Amino acid sequence: MQIVSGTIVGGKVVVDGLSLPEGTTVTVLARGDEVAVRLPPQQEAQLIDALDEADREEGISAEELFARLRRFG
């Protein structure tokens, strides 16, 4: 799994420095600067904890995540 930023050029998402194989499935999360996201205090705290964990690089690799998910499939 990768997280990258890109721009829309000619109606297509362009990410400099990244080449993906034809047919790759991607998920796009577009920022809506005019839209605010409001969370209840408990969910906001969970989000902040998750972001702090990501900053500390704790957790598991994408490979480990997919290995664990395959156990359920």
What is the pLDDT confidence band of residue 25, given thresholds at 50, 70 and 90? confident
Q: pTM for this one?
A: 0.36
Burial of 6 (0-12, 13-18, 19+ CB in 10 A): middle
Which tokens go with 31?
């920022």
Please check whether residue 44 is in contact with residue 51, taking contact to mean a CB–CB distance below 8 angstroms: no
pLDDT tens digits, one per residue of 30-69: 776 766 778 889 988 988 888 888 778 767 777 887 888 8
- Compute the distance between CA of residue 61 and CA of residue 58 in angstroms, rounded to an integer: 9
